[in-house]
């Protein structure tokens, strides 16, 4: 009798706890606005809400004085709220958001003052839980103008702000600020070597009391586009290492080159996973390809194999601002980017948001694509608490919109899908489903959008099955395959590549 009562009480407690936990939903929310809007950072809050921070101005080419800070919030219920923030007659933009244990938010951004509207200080804002401003302050770097904040990261309850400034001698230099939780400056350093306006900190990670940064287009003279600059937490420069590159002088082919959009995350005590753009080209053959690339490196920066992801004959970029990769567990590494990126202010072509997952060996588990009805650009991606994706992107419909972008927030489940929504998707989803997995003698492949060519190959890259597949249900005979892991790839007529992995018993 006691055991039965114990089971009932246990079930009751589990039910109460489950009701108290934030709902793990997925969604796609497009915030339409006739003004141009940009997003700089996203955060999943303790209550399950997703918040994005950035700014807006009158149009894409609108004057700087019209720029204001903005926040977008999606609640677990699906309700949304937006807020615009103005600080006197300044132009502002939010580039970082962090939730405090008490539920308040800390924001960092730019503070651009009249009459010339040149950024000359850093803005720090504390918001209450209802998003009202509790306090704000600005940080001035003396004898500096045109302050550009590239990264803000939190480590051991202190904020590290990395960026560049123009000093009185007319040269640009990099800086790092160390700020406590009360937003008081602990220390600062402006490094003596001049840099170009294209030199940016693309990422910053911490390990054993050291700051590891990726400095894109750094001042060192080498063929590599970026270097790993290492500092201690007192902001003293320690050393740098060139990021790997591999150029075949015999053929004139660039085979490995780490470019912008880089995100790094430690995976062991001595190695880290890197995701970024990789530009591969060959002068002798005319070959040109740019894809998202993932690789595992250590601090010696020896060249390691790069695993490339992207569409055939398209330019594919990693998340532009932050979050090319992220993970809660190194067994499930998320990556995000844009398929068919167009280098233009207002592109007149369609593109796709790309969300994928690999295993620890960087072999693909799936790649999902969203979009295709307008121009999209993935800006930020972070891993949600349930192991899924939170993505911030831009959308521009060149057929219906004027000169402005709209902000799109996506929350995808750990399979990269949108679920639990009663309303139609605001953007088409071109997806692929594959089951059962593991499979014995037959696979069922479901294409949600269009037909394509199916290629199944083993982990050595050997093609085992080639077959035309249609939209809807397709039955694939895998009885003759030997037991092991396989990659299932479908290439659609518009060169969209859909990838799944399965196991043959």
Average the pLDDT over 173-187 and give the result.
96
- Residue 420 reports pLDDT greater than 70: no
At 287 the pLDDT is 75
Evaluated on CA atoms 385, 157, 162, 262, the torsion sign reads negative
Q: Looking at the structure, do residues 420 and 439 belong to the same domain, yes or no?
A: no
Element spanning 14, H or E: helix 2-20
Rounded-to-integer distance, Cα 308 and Cα 316, Å: 10
| Residue that has been written with the tokens 């640009």 in this structure | 172
Q: Looking at the structure, do residues 387 and 504 belong to the same domain, yes or no?
A: no
Please indicate, yes or no, if residue 180 is contained in any of the structural domains: no
pTM listed for this prediction = 0.83
Q: Looking at the structure, do residues 462 and 319 belong to the same domain, yes or no?
A: no
Q: Looking at the structure, do residues 447 and 305 belong to the same domain, yes or no?
A: no
**What are 26-79's pLDDT values in tens digits?**
888 999 998 999 999 999 999 999 999 999 998 888 888 889 999 999 999 889
At 152 the pLDDT is 97
What's the pLDDT band for 118 if we cut at 50, 70, 90? confident
Q: Looking at the structure, do residues 264 and 359 belong to the same domain, yes or no?
A: yes
Please indicate, yes or no, if residue 453 is contained in any of the structural domains: yes
- What is the chain's percent helix, strand, coil content, to nearest 5? 5, 55, 40
Winning range, highest mean pLDDT, from 108-112, 176-180, 214-218, 419-423: 176-180
Domain boundary residue among 400, 428, 456? Answer: 428
Average the pLDDT over 163-186 and give the result.
95
Query: How is residue 353 written in tokens?
Result: 């948001």
* Of the listed ranges 91-100, 150-159, 425-434, the one predicted with least confidence: 425-434
> Could you tell me if 31 and 38 are in contact, meaning their C-beta atoms sit under 8 angstroms apart?
no
DSSP state letter for 23: P
At 311 the pLDDT is 74
441 pairs with which residues across the strands?
none
Size (the chain), residues: 505
Q: Looking at the structure, do residues 383 and 503 belong to the same domain, yes or no?
A: no
**What are 358-402's pLDDT values in tens digits?**
999 998 888 888 988 899 999 999 999 999 999 999 999 998 898
At 218 the pLDDT is 87
Q: Looking at the structure, do residues 337 and 401 belong to the same domain, yes or no?
A: yes
Termini Cα distance of the chain: 45
Residue-number span of the structural domain to which 332 is assigned: 244-428
- The CATH number assigned to the domain holding 484 equals 2.60.40.1930
Q: Which residue has the higher pLDDT, 421 or 74?
A: 74
Rounded-to-integer distance, Cα 425 and Cα 28, Å: 7
At 5 the pLDDT is 41
- Residue 97 reports pLDDT greater than 90: yes
Taking residue 102's Cβ as centre, other Cβ atoms within 10 Å add up to 7
Domain boundary residue among 428, 459, 475? Answer: 428
**What are 256-296's pLDDT values in tens digits?**
999 989 999 999 999 999 999 998 888 777 778 889 999 99
CA distance to 81, 384, 402, 427, 428, per residue, from 78 (Å): 10, 16, 28, 17, 19
What's the pLDDT band for 17 if we cut at 50, 70, 90? very low
What's the pLDDT band for 447 if we cut at 50, 70, 90? confident
Please indicate, yes or no, if residue 78 is contained in any of the structural domains: no
Please indicate, yes or no, if residue 88 is contained in any of the structural domains: no
- Residue 122 reports pLDDT greater than 90: yes
Please indicate, yes or no, if residue 187 is contained in any of the structural domains: no
| Residue that has been written with the tokens 């009249």 in this structure | 114
Mean pLDDT over the full length of the chain: 88
**What are 209-253's pLDDT values in tens digits?**
999 999 998 888 677 788 999 999 999 999 999 999 888 888 888
At 448 the pLDDT is 63
| Residue that has been written with the tokens 């030997």 in this structure | 482
Rounded-to-integer distance, Cα 110 and Cα 146, Å: 10
Q: Looking at the structure, do residues 391 and 347 belong to the same domain, yes or no?
A: yes
Please indicate, yes or no, if residue 310 is contained in any of the structural domains: yes
Query: How is residue 393 written in tokens?
Result: 């992107």
Residue 266's region, left for phi above 0, alpha for psi from -120 to 50, else beta, is beta
- Residue 357 reports pLDDT greater than 60: yes
Domain boundary residue among 428, 450, 477? Answer: 428
Please indicate, yes or no, if residue 6 is contained in any of the structural domains: no
At 334 the pLDDT is 98
Q: Looking at the structure, do residues 344 and 446 belong to the same domain, yes or no?
A: no
Q: Looking at the structure, do residues 286 and 353 belong to the same domain, yes or no?
A: yes
How many domains does the structure of the chain reveal?
Answer: 2
Please indicate, yes or no, if residue 492 is contained in any of the structural domains: yes
Q: Looking at the structure, do residues 365 and 308 belong to the same domain, yes or no?
A: yes
Q: Looking at the structure, do residues 312 and 447 belong to the same domain, yes or no?
A: no
At 285 the pLDDT is 75
- Residue 165 reports pLDDT greater than 50: yes
At 221 the pLDDT is 67
């Amino acid at each position: 009798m006691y055991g039965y009562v114990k089971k009932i009480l246990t079930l009751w407690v589990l039910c109460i706890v489950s009701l108290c936990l934030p709902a793990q939903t997925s969604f796609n929310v497009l915030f339409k606005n006739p003004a141009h809007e940009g997003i700089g950072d996203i955060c999943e809050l303790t209550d399950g809400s997703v918040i994005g921070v950035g700014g807006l101005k009158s149009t894409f080419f609108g004057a700087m004085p019209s720029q204001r800070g903005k926040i977008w919030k999606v609640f677990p219920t699906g309700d949304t709220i937006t807020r615009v923030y103005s600080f006197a007659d300044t132009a502002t933009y939010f580039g970082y958001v962090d939730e405090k244990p008490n539920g308040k938010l800390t924001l960092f951004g730019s503070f651009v003052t009249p009459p010339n509207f040149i950024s000359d200080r850093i803005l720090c804002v504390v918001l209450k839980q209802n998003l009202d401003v509790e306090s704000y302050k600005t940080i001035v770097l003396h004898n500096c103008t045109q302050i550009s904040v590239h990264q803000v990261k939190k480590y051991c309850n202190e904020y590290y702000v990395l960026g560049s400034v123009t000093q009185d001698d007319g040269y640009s230099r990099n800086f790092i600020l160390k700020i406590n939780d009360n937003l008081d400056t602990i220390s600062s350093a402006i490094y003596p070597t001049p840099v170009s306006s294209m030199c940016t900190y693309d990422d910053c990670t911490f390990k054993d009391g050291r700051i590891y940064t990726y400095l894109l287009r750094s001042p060192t003279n080498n063929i590599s586009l970026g270097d790993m600059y290492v500092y201690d937490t007192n902001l003293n420069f320690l050393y740098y290492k060139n990021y790997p590159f591999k150029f075949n002088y015999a053929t004139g082919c660039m085979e490995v080159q780490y470019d912008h959009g880089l995100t790094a995350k430690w995976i062991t005590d001595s190695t880290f996973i890197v995701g970024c753009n990789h530009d591969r080209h060959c002068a002798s053959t005319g070959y040109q390809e740019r894809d998202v690339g993932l690789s595992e490196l250590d601090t010696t920066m020896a060249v390691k194999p790069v695993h490339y992801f992207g569409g055939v004959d398209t330019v594919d970029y990693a998340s532009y601002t932050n979050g090319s990769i992220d993970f809660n567990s190194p067994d499930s590494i998320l990556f995000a980017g844009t398929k068919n990126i167009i280098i233009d202010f207002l592109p007149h072509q369609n593109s796709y948001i790309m969300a994928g997952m690999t295993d620890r060996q960087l072999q693909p588990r799936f790649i999902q694509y969203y979009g295709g009805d307008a121009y999209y650009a993935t800006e930020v991606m972070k891993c949600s608490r349930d192991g899924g994706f939170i993505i911030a992107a831009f959308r521009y419909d060149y057929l219906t919109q004027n000169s402005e972008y709209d902000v799109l927030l996506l929350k995808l489940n750990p399979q990269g899908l949108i679920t639990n929504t009663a309303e139609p998707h605001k953007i088409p989803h071109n997806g692929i489903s594959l089951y059962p997995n593991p499979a014995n003698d037959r696979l069922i492949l479901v294409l949600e959008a269009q037909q394509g060519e199916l290629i199944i190959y083993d982990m050595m890259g050997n093609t085992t099955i080639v077959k035309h597949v249609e939209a809807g249900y397709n039955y694939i005979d895998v009885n003759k395959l030997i037991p092991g892991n396989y990659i299932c790839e479908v290439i659609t007529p518009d060169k969209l590549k859909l990838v799944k992995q399965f196991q043959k018993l």
